[in-house]
Structure 1
Amino acid sequence: MRNRNIFVVGLDELNRQRLAHLRGAEHYRFHGVIEPEEVNDTEIFPIEDMLASAETQLKAFGEPIDAIVGYMDFPVSTMLPLLCERLGTPSTSLESLLKCEHKYWSRLVQKEVIGDYIPRFTAFDPFDSDALQRIGEAGLYMPFFVKPIKSSGSRLGFRIESPEDFAYAVERLCEGIGTISEPFNYVLEHANLPKNVRSVDGGHCMAEEIIGGWQCTVEGYVFQGDVVPYGIVDSIRYPQVLSFFYYRYPSRLPPAIQTKMQDLTRQIMAHIGYDNAAFNVEYFWDEVQDRIWLLEINTRVAQSHCDLFEKVDGVSHQQVTVDLALGQLPDMPHRQGEFKVAGKFFYRVFFSDATVSQVPSAEAIETLQQTFPGTVITLQVEAGMRLSSLSEQDSYSYALAYVWMGADDDIALEDNYARLAEQLHFAFEDIIS
């Protein structure tokens, strides 16, 4: 049997190592297409040029191309159906993907089948001086949350408590939305959209009723029409703010709540018509009202969760992505990893801005990784960097480092991270608090 050629959009060294551990990887040859710096740590996304360059590279390969995959959010997830269609490799349809990624269209589709599990919502144009009035006319009143129609992570998301909050959010949205709206609109031009969706392009935003509670992510896939949720990851926030503290796997939600979320996931993904691809769905469980809310659907595995699945289940859930792209049923193990629980921690500072004057040395990082076996630490900043130059940050903090850890129980996991965090030494100048 010949080796299978699998092209990975934005392939970097960390993920090359993860992919090498997948089941069947001895029969796979992984190749990069589109450099990682073009799709990561940047806010400039010339999708048309990237697609043309990738298509040229792939067609000149000279051997069979068995699969094209990605593990990142916008623009990679949105580009894949277009690229796969051009090269004739398996992928879900562009329209089914956009029913997840176009936040307004996604809510309309969700409302058709699980309307009791989504917040009230409306779309608005941030450049419309009467936007706040129109949101009220749609029956949505403060407090509410606003975000772009196509967002990436928590970027440009704001909680609105007052007209002043809205004015500040709209100013920021108008300044930054073009970096996503222009490339996203290019993708929309290639899709068959309903009239009421086509009029709400990437330059628009969503306003939604505030929802909250215990946040989690259901990871799943669809293979030949069969929707399969296979793991739930908890998302723990810092107290009193929207910034994430860490992701924890497996979930500690009550079993009945996990089962209901899995049922909702099967229902909505089947209704969308999403097929032969991985996804994840983010939910809240409001413990006080015992109510489940669907937050959003993402058309990929969560890259942040790859190491968690490897630690607990035995391999990264990129196994699912690769198997599906090869047209085969995912061979994902369960609870065969080295640890019983795992977490990805976000080491953050809550400044408006600052200049980084010191970061932990490579030797210090290596010592910590040896002290806490199984730990992986990746710095997101370097000395001399202005925090505001970091991409893909939320609106309230900056993540200086990511820390993946495993442990035998939840208490040991948090204790180990607390000990490690005390030994991560950063320093700053020109701090704006």
Structure 2
Amino acid sequence: MTKNVFVVGLNDYNAERLQRLRGVEDVKFHQLLTPAQVSETEEFDIPAMLEEAEAGLDAFDGTIDAIVGYIDFPVSTMLPLLCKKYGTRNASLESLLKCEHKYWSRKVMAEAIPDHIPKFTAFDPFDDDTLSKIGEADLRFPFFVKPIKSSGSRLGFRIDSPEDFDYATEKLRAEIGQISEPFNFILDKANLPADIKAIKGHYCMAEQVIGGRQCTVEGYVHDGAVVPYGTVDSIRYPQVLSFFYYLYPSTLPDRVQNAMWEITRLIMAHIGYDNAGFNIEFYWDEIQNRIWLLEINTRIAQSHCDLFEMVDGVSHQQVTVDLGLGRKPDMPSGEGPERVAAEFFYRVFFRNATVARAPSRAEIEVAAEQVDGTRITSHVSKNMRLSELPEQDAYSYAVASVWMGANKQSKLLWNYEQVLKKLNYEFSDIEE
């Protein structure tokens, strides 16, 4: 019998990619809510989205065999509610929030892996005495601040001085409501401990600065078994916090990757997360030979889908779909056409600007043709302001993404330079 899998925010490209997964001959994929509603916006009316999703599911004339997603907030936090109502498999809301609620997550990590987390405290950005309270928590400059619920690197700031903190506070106060209001709706649905209930959605985290070589461990939990299956390097532009590219497979020493995988098994088992995919961001400090856990995300990284398909032979959406259907993931290794693969971020480092020129679809196709198997997505159009881009970090704007594979890392970087020469962006009204 045909199995019906509902994918929240499914777009045309991913609909095509899902058809290339293993064991989907008897699976029919259905869009549940549009990308415009859940990922191409910064306005998240979760009650309205849930109401529309439930209306679509209730009207469906057939079995509802799985409800899945591969997008961060708000999709990740909506899935446990939808899956519970319709009896499909997913992690519980409480176990998911032990990962996504950054303060609760750090508290849980302190119980299981205390040697791998920084000093931290939660704070209210609307409290004028916040900076002194952060100092009382034994945090000194420099430190890092971010919302207790964030997506990507949005509203994350390195704080080196009181002036930096004033700037970050101003931005947080102005913009955090876009995250805090919908996140509070989710928190009200969960059974929270009293100390976590007191930390509302508008709160933020201050953390000791950690660093080193950054990477992401992709994994899943199936019937209680925690299974890491790949490590992706996260490589930044020199001297800034913005990502330059993601590289798979990782170039970290095997002993370091093995240690990260063991930490992953410990913390995910301790949390009680089950029957869903996840990824964990780590740092390896080479000087101190110390592994730091940065954060846990409760979904596969969509940015890594092409990388796994190029190197391993199938997108790791395989994990999401198999788990949703109650199957052990059939995730291959090393069966793809490339030995290494990357997603590059073409960035501009402006405070803001207007896009005076963006490459046409034909020009993007010509650029992609420079290297076989290249995929390019432009995120901007002529006359738009860069500040209109959703989900950007505090220091730059990603105007395009480029996915490509090669037989070695050096060739990959050379190939990217060839593609970049064909992408012509121009900007006006630049605010440095």
Q: Which amino acid aligns with 2:166?
A: A
Which residue of the partner structure matches residue 74 of structure 1? 73
Which residue of the partner structure matches residue 334 of structure 2? 335
Which residue of the partner structure matches residue 325 of structure 1? 324
Identity %: 63
Query: C-alpha separation between the residues in 1 aligned to 2:155 and 2:58?
Result: 37
Query: C-alpha separation between the residues in 2 aligned to 1:48 and 1:88?
Result: 20
Q: Report the alpha carbon displacement of residue 25 of structure 1 after superposing the two structures with TM.
A: 2.1
Q: Which amino acid aligns with 1:52?
A: E
Which has the larger displacement, 122-131 or 40-49?
40-49
- Is the CA contact (8 Å cut-off) linking 1:55 and 1:87 kept in structure 2? no
Which residue of the partner structure matches residue 426 of structure 1? 425
Query: C-alpha separation between the residues in 1 aligned to 2:207 and 2:159?
Result: 10
Which structure 2 residue ranges, 5 or more long, are not aligned?
none
Give the TM-score of the pair, scaled to structure 1.
Answer: 0.99
Which residue of the partner structure matches residue 231 of structure 1? 230
Query: C-alpha separation between the residues in 2 aligned to 1:48 and 1:346?
Result: 33
Query: C-alpha separation between the residues in 2 aligned to 1:108 and 1:394?
Result: 25
Query: C-alpha separation between the residues in 2 aligned to 1:431 and 1:203?
Result: 31
Query: C-alpha separation between the residues in 1 aligned to 2:200 and 2:16?
Result: 38
Residue by residue over 1:195-230, the C-alpha shift from the partner in whole angstroms, topping out at 9 and shown as x without a partner, is 110000111000000001100000000000000000
Query: C-alpha separation between the residues in 2 aligned to 1:4 and 1:431?
Result: 51
Q: Which amino acid aligns with 1:19?
A: L
Q: Which amino acid aligns with 2:379?
A: Q
Matches within 5 A, 1:166-315: 166-315=165-314
Partner of 1:89: helix, strand, or coil?
coil
Partner of 2:113: helix, strand, or coil?
helix
- Is the CA contact (8 Å cut-off) linking 2:184 and 2:200 kept in structure 1? yes
Residue by residue over 1:34-57, the C-alpha shift from the partner in whole angstroms, topping out at 9 and shown as x without a partner, is 111011121100001111110111
Give the TM-score of the pair, scaled to structure 2.
Answer: 0.99
Query: C-alpha separation between the residues in 1 aligned to 2:369 and 2:165?
Result: 47
Partner of 1:24: helix, strand, or coil?
coil
Query: C-alpha separation between the residues in 2 aligned to 1:207 and 1:17?
Result: 41
Query: C-alpha separation between the residues in 2 aligned to 1:420 and 1:169?
Result: 36
Runs of 4+ in structure 1 off by over 4 angstroms are none
- Is the CA contact (8 Å cut-off) linking 2:355 and 2:382 kept in structure 1? yes
Query: C-alpha separation between the residues in 1 aligned to 2:348 and 2:369?
Result: 25
Partner of 1:62: helix, strand, or coil?
coil
Query: C-alpha separation between the residues in 2 aligned to 1:79 and 1:286?
Result: 35
- Is the CA contact (8 Å cut-off) linking 1:236 and 1:246 kept in structure 2? yes
Query: C-alpha separation between the residues in 2 aligned to 1:368 and 1:247?
Result: 20
Partner of 1:25: helix, strand, or coil?
coil
Residue by residue over 1:166-201, the C-alpha shift from the partner in whole angstroms, topping out at 9 and shown as x without a partner, is 000000000010000000000000111011100001
Q: Report the alpha carbon displacement of residue 371 of structure 1 after superposing the two structures with TM.
A: 2.3
Partner of 1:246: helix, strand, or coil?
strand
Residue by residue over 1:57-101, the C-alpha shift from the partner in whole angstroms, topping out at 9 and shown as x without a partner, is 101101001000001000000110001111111111000000000
Partner of 1:182: helix, strand, or coil?
helix
Which residue of the partner structure matches residue 409 of structure 2? 410
Query: C-alpha separation between the residues in 2 aligned to 1:113 and 1:429?
Result: 51
Query: C-alpha separation between the residues in 1 aligned to 2:290 and 2:231?
Result: 17
Which residue of the partner structure matches residue 33 of structure 2? 34
Which residue of the partner structure matches residue 103 of structure 2? 104
Which residue of the partner structure matches residue 377 of structure 1? 376
Q: Which amino acid aligns with 1:6?
A: V
Q: Report the alpha carbon displacement of residue 357 of structure 1 after superposing the two structures with TM.
A: 1.2
Residue by residue over 1:374-395, the C-alpha shift from the partner in whole angstroms, topping out at 9 and shown as x without a partner, is 1000000000110011110000
Which residue of the partner structure matches residue 63 of structure 2? 64
Query: C-alpha separation between the residues in 1 aligned to 2:13 and 2:132?
Result: 48
Query: C-alpha separation between the residues in 1 aligned to 2:165 and 2:12?
Result: 41
Query: How many residues get paired?
Result: 432
Which residue of the partner structure matches residue 8 of structure 1? 7
Matches within 5 A, 1:349-388: 349-388=348-387
Residue by residue over 1:257-282, the C-alpha shift from the partner in whole angstroms, topping out at 9 and shown as x without a partner, is 00000000000000000000000000
Residue by residue over 1:299-341, the C-alpha shift from the partner in whole angstroms, topping out at 9 and shown as x without a partner, is 0000000000000000100000000000010000110001000
Query: C-alpha separation between the residues in 2 aligned to 1:201 and 1:336?
Result: 46
Q: Report the alpha carbon displacement of residue 163 of structure 1 after superposing the two structures with TM.
A: 0.4
Query: C-alpha separation between the residues in 2 aligned to 1:248 and 1:291?
Result: 21
- Is the CA contact (8 Å cut-off) linking 1:9 and 1:32 kept in structure 2? yes
